[in-house]
Structure 1
Amino acid sequence: MALASCRPLAFGTALALLCQCGIALAQEQAADAQEGATLLPRLDVGAGAESTAGTDVLAVTPQDMQRKKPADLREVFSGEPQIAVGGAIPGTQKIYVNGVDETNLAVTVDGSRQNNKVFHHNGTYLLDPALLKAVTVQAGVAPADAGPAALGGSIGFETKDATDLLEPGRNFGGFVTGAWDTNSETFVTGASVYGMQDGFEYLGYLNFGKGGNFTAGNGEEMLGTGTNLLSGLGKIAYETLDGNRFELSHEQVRDDALRPYRANAYINIRNEPILRNYELNRQNTVFTYTDTAPEGWLDPKVVIAYSRTRVETPVFDRATGEIIAPAIGETSSLNGKVENKFAVDLGSVTAGFDFYSDRAKLAYDAVPPEFPHERASNVGAYAQARLEPFDRARISFGGRLDHQWFTGVDGTDFSNAGVSGNVSGEYDIVPDFLTAKAGVSHVWGGIPLAENFIQNPAWTYDGDPDPVTANNYTAGLEARFAGLTLEANIFQSDISNARFPNAGNALRNFDLRSRGWEVGAGYEWDAGFVSVKYADIRADVGGVTADSEVGRYLTTPLGQIIMIGGGYTFHDWGLKVGGDVEIALKYDATLTRHPNEPASPKRALPGYQVVNAFVEYTPPSHKNFTLRADVRNLFDETYTSRASYGQDFDGVKPHYAPGRSFRLSATMRF
């Protein structure tokens, strides 16, 4: 046992030692950089807004995506303990930022709002990482232009453009990829073509994956974990000579396979079958207008978008085990914004209007049939200033006014309005070395929609419900010296009147408090990097420690998580090596009994250690060809990822993550 516990530490040490071989090569460059080192600006993409000074911004850059070559959302966010992803397969993965469930965040894909009230046993965003260019997370405090109801922050996903893929000096290209996973015997293949000519740009991409169930570290086959994924992305754009850019994109992902009856855990009641088919379809269509050559005060942006997620699965009779009828849940959002960024002497001010019209509905053709649906519409006006009043300080502040109209399944209407505000800033205590930052926000979120599969046509909406609101606080220090970065952050999010409906109560709500702290250290140089981060995140629902059941729609128990990562590039050889380690410490706060949870016996969350590594080779003489080998879960750990549902109850069989997997892939560009 002791030896097994030491393996991740040994791997992390070896990883650091490997990276140290490049430090000597970088010392001379670091000494030169010491005199004139500056803090590089963060990459801000996709979140519908720039980041703001003093906020906690976590960016997965295009360079990160190229290094990670992620196969799912958990791999996208590897190395960031503040972002936890639960679920063993893409169709059930959910994201938690500082312990706050993604349904309480403003989430966009290419600037399009995602209506994330789908089904609590499914993941919210069925995203194919092969389509992604970058991700930006603004944890806790988000700016006013990130969109309405950014209760716990925002997440912005951005997909690839033709210009991201074209090689310098070329106006046409493409690639084909293939990957093989030895654990589940899954094959994934993709192909893309893209180009630009006379102001026009185009991109087409198609990706397909097919495979069987995977086995856990203990050798057990995890039923209902097969792959049957089809995804695609199409983009066209035109840019005039004077910089007016028009872009239309359409992205679609489908997952259609047998899954556990409750897809994210093995829970069966009486004669329900072990598996049933789930078909998940998500689509996102976005039109964007921008001016790439703004002059003076005119720097406009217009976004009109439509997103939809559809889940279909059959419902079975618990007594007889016979199928009753299919249930189809669908969420959609028609949304958009018109804004302008005004350049001022001290920085910029972004102001505009946005709207959404969201729907959530269930079609259950049983006897009697059920067709409940809720809808909500919102119009908001906002402004956000980002200023640099003097050399050592950056400050941002803004606010928004929202008016929402909500209609319940019985036709009851509610009309509410509210104000949100935020202020944040950072100050260089020691220029080019030590920076202090802090932020605070109050967010008004209206009345959230209920998820599709919990909606009840017999609901009544008695009384005058209080809209959900949130208060967020963040503070931190960051030190930089010759490629070395040290950081520490504390955070807290208080969400009041968070809607938590059940079959008999449409407007039931709870209060959530999530708080914690993070420390990290990293060293980066021309050929590589090494980093280690630690986060301790705790959450209460109604003043009592949360578990994964009472935390549904709100949070999940996380505790203490350590992430170690590193990589090194041998430029002359075309060789890249790297890896990462995730260590979750045992968490026994889940033993606390919450008054709103089931009577099932409870258990502590066990600790685990997972090690991943990769080697990638691009021959210097054939730079259009890349071979890569990944090993996931190197030491064959039997574990359930910390943010996964149900593992804190004895009556639930854990949905273990995959055991050791070798993933072999190749990419040919032309």
Structure 2
Amino acid sequence: MTSRNRIFRRKARASLLALLLSGAATAVLPVRAEAQQPRIAVDLPAGNLAGALNRLASQSGLQMVFDASVAGGLTSARVSGNMTATEALERLLAGTGIRYRFIGERTVKVEVAADAASGSSAAAADDGTALQAIVVKGGRVFNGDAPSVAEIDSEEIEAAQANSLPQLLRRTPGVNAGGGVRLQGQTLAIRGFARASDVRILLDGAPKNFERYDQGTVFVDPELLKRVEILKGATSVRYGNGGFGGTVLMESKTAADMLKEGQTLGAWTKTSYQSANKQRLGSAAVYGKSDFGGPVTYDGLASVIWRKSDNMRVGGGKVYDASNDRLLSFSANAGAELDGHELRASVVYGKSEDWGPPAGVRGDLGLTAYTIDRYGYELARLRALALRDMEDFSSTLKYSYLGDSDLVNFKAMASLSSTGLNMTRPTVAGFTPSATIGGQEDDVQYTDIKLEAENTSSFELGGLSHVANYGVQFVRHERDSWMYDIANRNSAQHNYGYYASWIVPEGTQQTISAFLRDEIGLTDTFKVTPGLRFDHVRSKGVPNAAPRYNDPAAGHDYSAVSHTGLTPALSLRWEATPATTLFADWAYAMRAPVIDEIYSSQSALTSASATSRGLKAERNNNISLGVSQQFDDVLRNGDTLVASLSAFHNHVTNPVTRRFGAANLAGVKGVPFYWNTPSYRVYGLELTARYDSDTLFGDLGVSWMNGRRHGAINNIYGPDTYTQDLAPLTANVQIGYRVADHDLSFSWNGLFVARQHRTPARQGGETYARRESSGYAVHGLSIDWTPQEGPLAGLEVHAAVDNLFDKYYFPYLSDGISAMPGRSFKLSVSRKF
């Protein structure tokens, strides 16, 4: 990428940032959520009050916040009929001495009334007794509460003390982390799909599409986030073209998430420490919300995060050289509201610069006795290092309108996001870095511009209720890449060393999409949601500057190519009983080849030299089935156990695979570098269970998967093999005890992973397959103290010991090149003011 392009990008970022922050000052205030509620079918049988609140959350889509002790021992009469959620709450709580109040657009707090003897449940505005909150997530439209959907809220993010998004999601069934211990080298896999394009990641709606080989895929600090939602599978037409494993939706914090009740201006500060790599963290934020005496309500938040660590100590005591990290992040979020209109802007920026191996996924540097004897330790170490300079930027501008009509719930968004990585090898006499790992200097910049508009309409038609969501999207993805191949600095065929790597080509990909989904209520308890999506993807390469990789005789063609397809989908949701819900989701999803797959090439001297413009789009005929069951009063009055089981099956046709292997090439030349191979299947089961009471709580998550490929990647004519990226049988367990009077909780957690033998490594895939891995068990303890009232209200203290027994282990997706952190004592202290 030229210096002119770099300057242009910096100016574009600055201009968009100015537009976002200035535009946020002109928006408008939505009407209160209570006044906009539609009438819904409510059926709450008589019995346990806590169970009735849980069911109302599911039926209304609201989120209930209450302490188990509030409803403990109380019963409620049956509430049934068509009514608003507010009316249902008033009937349900009448005569109980319990009140409710809205503390957010879709969040209701249930608490003891100030005057319990009155039996009033009015939504008073004054504060009641502070309680240790239990949050009950309500059901959402479009199967948003299916077992294949997982959510991590702000409380869980704080308690996790995670360094990265993969670490944060590691307890989610079906989600697995890959890569090493460095922040720049971690990746995600969902349900056996580990390619970067198979896990769609969005930050405030902006796509994060970094796919550089042997590097990480997402670099957003979890400290910036208030919520993460994981949609496992590719069954939603809202998100198309890729994401066969699933979609990860990250939301950054806003002032409303941080302000205390009744507060208009606030501040927050946090510090933390982790012993495995002596990591120190400092974070601070200021935020506020006010109408300044006018009709427009403004809010804003600005935060900064500083994270620094030494080298990582893995289980057993070994320390990985050059595994230290430094990360500096900034975020800003501002909005304005008036009369149903809202305009909101967000900016997130992160920068990391450290010495490390060229492959970010590595663990140890891999120095050998031979290289140390030949060059000496310090020189051998320098030959294995690169200065890695990473910058990650995201910005969004959103407009929404919640009108008086159920037909209008409009949203529009524009976003700009980019991720850049520059790696420079040290200058060492007699050392010539290989072009296969980036040469002397390697630079990649991936940029996405996204525009979208959508509307949601609720209406009655033909005697049936409908919730229709429809919209259009445009995404432009651009890849800039170059390297300095010092070994060929005198070669005209290599453009004197300056060119794009043959496996990291430059190019653009533009996607135009439209989608429609309509949730149809056939009965009060049975909903059907058909959906349809259209994607047109146009890809265009940039001719390589090196004639060696821009040779028509070798099949090099960087001209544009298009892929078009429809994605039909169908979802079913049946509330068989108030406590039992059945789900089904199906879609025939599409994934167009990415720039690397279409335009990677080799020289004419190789067998598979040509670019791959003739690739077909991949298709995934995928289905998810699930059941969710709620049990009340399991061990004691007022407790709740919610369990869900889901099964999934993916049949991927026309998978895109790098072409190699003597059996595949059959001695011919000029074949494409990538090609479509025979189909494969991935299927599995996931079990989750959550128990909650006023004292005891616990979580269980279990995932199992398997899969078969027709033939092998290096021999499509041979016998069937296992699919490449299957995670082993995994169980996450947490058991805890809550001391509500002191706002304390204690918990033990365990990670149990079985041996993985389902790999093609022993099926002729030694040259490409992941090696088998051993099973392991890792234990941890944690203490959380979150005072809810008094002078310490707003303080949070989280302490934990990870890998309690200092286990030395390698997750399957780490490819045996990076062990995980050893015993680590973690402590974080934060305070709101």
Shorter-normalised TM range: 0.7 to 0.9
How much has 1:79 moved relative to structure 2? Answer: 3.0
Q: 1:583 to 1:31 in 2, by over 3 A?
A: farther
Aligned AA (1:534): V
Provide the residue aligned with 1:659 in structure 2.
822
How much has 1:558 moved relative to structure 2? Answer: 1.1
Structure 1: tracts of 5 or more residues without a match? 1-24, 547-553, 648-653
Whether the 8 Å contact between 1:200 and 1:239 is mirrored in structure 2 is yes
How much has 1:40 moved relative to structure 2? Answer: 6.0
Higher fraction of strand? 1
Is 2:362 the counterpart of 1:246?
Answer: no
Provide the residue aligned with 1:192 in structure 2.
285
How much has 1:566 moved relative to structure 2? Answer: 3.4
Alignment partner for residue 369 of structure 1, among 498, 504, 507? 498
Provide the residue aligned with 1:563 in structure 2.
732
Alignment partner for residue 688 of structure 2, among 515, 520, 523? 520
Of 226-235 and 56-65, more deviation after overlay is shown by: 56-65
Q: 5 Å matches for 1:65-84?
A: 65-84=157-176
Q: 1:26 to 1:174 in 2, by over 3 A?
A: closer
Deviations 1:285-330 (A, max 9, x none): 1111011455231211001111111111135899943455210111
Provide the residue aligned with 1:108 in structure 2.
202
Q: 1:309 to 1:669 in 2, by over 3 A?
A: same
Provide the residue aligned with 2:257 in structure 1.
164
Structure 2 CA distance, aligned partners of 1:426 and 1:183? 46
TM-score when normalising by structure 1: 0.85
Structure 2 CA distance, aligned partners of 1:581 and 1:216? 18
Whether the 8 Å contact between 2:754 and 2:774 is mirrored in structure 1 is yes
Provide the residue aligned with 2:584 in structure 1.
438
Alignment partner for residue 322 of structure 2, among 216, 224, 227? 224
Structure 2 CA distance, aligned partners of 1:403 and 1:380? 6
Q: 1:473 to 1:497 in 2, by over 3 A?
A: same
Structure 2 CA distance, aligned partners of 1:448 and 1:307? 18
Provide the residue aligned with 1:351 in structure 2.
470
Whether the 8 Å contact between 1:468 and 1:498 is mirrored in structure 2 is yes
Structure 2 CA distance, aligned partners of 1:525 and 1:538? 36
Q: 1:574 to 1:291 in 2, by over 3 A?
A: same
How much has 1:212 moved relative to structure 2? Answer: 0.5
Q: 5 Å matches for 1:6-85?
A: 29=72, 32=75, 42=138, 51-52=143-144, 56-85=148-177
Is 2:445 the counterpart of 1:360?
Answer: no
Structure 1 CA distance, aligned partners of 2:537 and 2:189? 26
SS state of the match for residue 238, structure 2? helix
TM-score when normalising by structure 2: 0.70
Whether the 8 Å contact between 1:330 and 1:452 is mirrored in structure 2 is no
Whether the 8 Å contact between 2:506 and 2:595 is mirrored in structure 1 is no
Alignment partner for residue 529 of structure 2, among 393, 396, 400? 396
Q: How much identity, in percent, do the aligned residues show?
A: 19
Whether the 8 Å contact between 2:328 and 2:351 is mirrored in structure 1 is yes
Whether the 8 Å contact between 2:189 and 2:245 is mirrored in structure 1 is no
Q: 1:530 to 1:41 in 2, by over 3 A?
A: closer
SS state of the match for residue 643, structure 1? helix
Structure 2: tracts of 5 or more residues without a match? 1-67, 81-91, 93-134, 292-296, 372-379, 434-438, 490-496, 544-557, 633-639, 661-670, 715-722
How much has 1:202 moved relative to structure 2? Answer: 0.8
SS state of the match for residue 399, structure 1? strand
Aligned length: 625
Structure 2 CA distance, aligned partners of 1:377 and 1:594? 39
Structure 2 CA distance, aligned partners of 1:454 and 1:260? 24
How much has 1:83 moved relative to structure 2? Answer: 0.9
Structure with the bigger RCO (C-alpha within 8 Å, sep 6+) is 1
Whether the 8 Å contact between 2:580 and 2:630 is mirrored in structure 1 is yes
Let me know the Cα RMSD of the aligned residues.
Answer: 3.3
Q: 5 Å matches for 1:548-559?
A: 556-559=725-728
Q: Which structure's CA Rg is the greater one?
A: 2
Structure 1 CA distance, aligned partners of 2:304 and 2:680? 41
Provide the residue aligned with 2:624 in structure 1.
474
Whether the 8 Å contact between 1:189 and 1:209 is mirrored in structure 2 is yes
How much has 1:425 moved relative to structure 2? Answer: 1.0
How much has 1:476 moved relative to structure 2? Answer: 2.1
Deviations 1:585-618 (A, max 9, x none): 1112236435565289x85201111112221224
Is 2:785 the counterpart of 1:617?
Answer: yes
Whether the 8 Å contact between 2:584 and 2:626 is mirrored in structure 1 is yes
SS state of the match for residue 126, structure 1? coil
Structure 1 CA distance, aligned partners of 2:695 and 2:189? 32
Is 2:700 the counterpart of 1:532?
Answer: yes
Aligned AA (2:578): D
SS state of the match for residue 76, structure 1? helix
Structure 1 CA distance, aligned partners of 2:534 and 2:756? 41
SS state of the match for residue 184, structure 2? helix
Structure 2 CA distance, aligned partners of 1:438 and 1:422? 11
SS state of the match for residue 164, structure 1? helix
How much has 1:455 moved relative to structure 2? Answer: 7.0
How much has 1:638 moved relative to structure 2? Answer: 0.7
Q: 1:253 to 1:201 in 2, by over 3 A?
A: same
Whether the 8 Å contact between 2:482 and 2:499 is mirrored in structure 1 is yes
Alignment partner for residue 629 of structure 1, among 768, 785, 799? 799
Is 2:654 the counterpart of 1:497?
Answer: yes
